[in-house]
Amino acid sequence: MKKITKFHRQIAISYLKTAFLVMIASFFLLPNYIKVTQDGNTIFTVFLNDKQVGTVSDVSKLEEYLTSARRELAEESEDMVFVDTNLQVKGEEKYFGLTDSKSTIKEQMLLILKESVRDARKRSYTLKVNEFTVNLASSEEVRQLLQAALQQYDVDNKYQVELVLDPTRELNVLTTSIRTSYEVQEEKEEVMECEAGVGLALSEMLADMDTETEKEFADFDLGLMDISYGDEVEIVETYLTDKELTPLNEAIDLVTKNQETQAVYEVVAGDTLSEIALKTNLPMEAIIEMNENLEDENSTIRIGDELVITVPEPELSVEHKEEVYYEEDYEAEIEYVYNDNWYTTESQVLQQPSAGHRKVVSIVSYRNEDITDTEILKEEVSVAAVPKIVEIGTKVPPTYIKPISGGRFTSGFKRRWGRWHKGVDWATPVGTAVMASSGGTVAKAGWGSGYGYVVYINHADGRQTRYGHLSKVLVKPGDYVKQGQKIALSGNTGRSTGPHVHFEILIGGSQVNPLEYMN
């Protein structure tokens, strides 16, 4: 019995020694425990955005773990994610402590980052047309919008738009490429047609024959033949919130529907404000309001003047050409006979026109709905038009200027005090220099009854100017005076209500509104 008890005691002692050695080895070798040191912190609790991530013994890799977690968060979505990342560490000194593995730390960081997302911006596209921009959710929506602009005029979907990199830009800016549906389909199917030898020569010969032979009306391929955007289009990729995006249907309306756009109208020969109003389909009052230099419907306009007007035009204009057939009555171009002895204001119709009739195939160019050019490809006249023949003068007529410097405009060419006022008046002190409005020969110089002292001047274009209520006359009948030459001094003679100059222009012996003829 004693031997057995002694043996058991030896076994127990050996077991205790082994257990102690295992414990010591585990303390130094197992990765989930830290080695005891005598100075500083030995274990660290990690917090991300005030939430506990886990425990580590080495903080040098925490930024690397956070970067990896943020990368993984970004890869899970195409959105641009904005997330708070406030990383904090609390250290302690412990003899024993359990730490978390690298994968656990990263997983916890990823979970907290997902909970901390404060803003997510989606990959989007901004379409820019001139100064106008609109944001859409995808490149396909941009393409659909641009296609909708074409389909206003391409009802058969003959043309398709694609987004391509703009080769003229260094940055990744997209622009448009418009091709026929046939070209797109041909590329998709990778159809390659090869012609060689006799076949190629025959094709070229037939092509030459087609160009040399005049087409009949039935040979023309009528319809849309070309289409493009009339404004520069740019598309850039960006990241935006849902609130910054415009729904596709709303964007199509914004880009393709007519908007009131300012434009400039240049005055041409024969224009009046009323005719410009008819041409532009705008009320005359609106044209006057938009132009500060116009006071009322009687304001003077000259050839070359530029007037601001508003026109209905979409943000994105479409230019297109159509080959069309039509029959029409037409007018022949006016023929002119030039007379060097007449002024350009003189004309006479020598032959009255009459309309002709013809069949036409032409290429009509449009900008949106407006015709910009017409090119006739084939014409067959059934009844020839007779042209209008007009004899016109070539001499430049005299010009007319205001007869005084300064002065205050007091009365116009209108009904006044129960009778017609046949000229215009400027109030000015007695003795102001009065000048010839245009060069000519003095016809009368002296007293003129109700006009007081007057001067009448006959001009080369058959017109006459009259200057009334003068205080002193400086010319005599028969004198030739130049434009701007002093002919009298202003006064208050005759039937006058105060010092002023009265000025008239007569054509064919009748007074006209001088303001319409003065430069």
List the beta bridge partners of residue 416: 419
Low-confidence residues of the chain, pLDDT below 70? 1-40, 78, 119-120, 184-212, 416-418
Work out the end-to-end distance of the chain between its first and last CA atoms, rounded to an integer number of angstroms.
147
**Domain assignment of residue 380, given as a range:** 322-395
What CA–CA distance (Å, rounded) separates 166 from 172? 8
Residue 293 and residue 374 in one domain: no
Q: Is residue 64, in this structure, part of any structural domain at all?
A: yes
Residue 303 and residue 353 in one domain: no
Q: Is residue 214, in this structure, part of any structural domain at all?
A: no
What CA–CA distance (Å, rounded) separates 112 from 265? 64
Do the Cβ atoms of 515 and 412 come closer than 8 Å? yes
Residue 295 and residue 326 in one domain: no
Judged by DSSP in three states, 204 sits in helix
- The residues, any chain, with a CB within 8 Å of residue 499's CB and separated by 6 or more, are 427, 428, 429, 430, 490, 491, 492
Do the Cβ atoms of 309 and 285 come closer than 8 Å? no
Question: If you ran DSSP here, which 8-state letter would residue 33 be given?
Answer: B
| Domain limit, last residue, from 395, 420, 448 | 395
Amino acid at 210: D
Angle separating helix axes 139-151 and 248-256, nearest 10 degrees: 40
Q: Is residue 124, in this structure, part of any structural domain at all?
A: no
What CA–CA distance (Å, rounded) separates 163 from 168? 14
| Domain limit, last residue, from 115, 145, 176 | 115
Do the Cβ atoms of 282 and 309 come closer than 8 Å? yes
Do the Cβ atoms of 229 and 314 come closer than 8 Å? no
Please give the pLDDT value at position 207.
52
What CA–CA distance (Å, rounded) separates 108 from 105? 5
Judged by DSSP in three states, 171 sits in coil
Domain of 383: which CATH number? 2.20.230.10
Token pair recorded at residue 418:
């129960």
Residue 379 and residue 435 in one domain: no
What CA–CA distance (Å, rounded) separates 72 from 110? 8
- The residues, any chain, with a CB within 8 Å of residue 163's CB and separated by 6 or more, are 139, 142, 143, 174, 175, 176, 177, 235
Residue 474 and residue 416 in one domain: yes
What CA–CA distance (Å, rounded) separates 336 from 339? 10
- The residues, any chain, with a CB within 8 Å of residue 268's CB and separated by 6 or more, are 303
Q: Is residue 83, in this structure, part of any structural domain at all?
A: yes
User: Alpha carbon of 396 to those of 67, 95, 341, 393: distances in Å?
Assistant: 84, 113, 10, 8
Residue 330 and residue 351 in one domain: yes
Residue 461 and residue 507 in one domain: yes
| Domain limit, last residue, from 373, 395, 417 | 395
Q: Is residue 244, in this structure, part of any structural domain at all?
A: no
Token pair recorded at residue 277:
């109003």
Residue 463 and residue 424 in one domain: yes
Residue 363 phi/psi, 5-degree rounding, is -100, 115
What CA–CA distance (Å, rounded) separates 488 from 171? 73
Q: Is residue 380, in this structure, part of any structural domain at all?
A: yes
Please state whether beta strands 132-136 and 117-129 pair in parallel, antiparallel, or not at all (unpaired): antiparallel
Q: Count Cα atoms within 13 angstroms, Cβ side, for 128.
A: 11
Domain of 507: which CATH number? 2.70.70.10
Q: Is residue 103, in this structure, part of any structural domain at all?
A: yes
Burial of residue 512 (CB within 10 Å: 0-12, 13-18, 19+) is: middle
What CA–CA distance (Å, rounded) separates 433 from 407? 11
What CA–CA distance (Å, rounded) separates 481 from 439? 6
What CA–CA distance (Å, rounded) separates 480 from 459? 10
Residue 95 and residue 54 in one domain: yes
Q: Is residue 34, in this structure, part of any structural domain at all?
A: no
Number of domains comprising the chain? 5
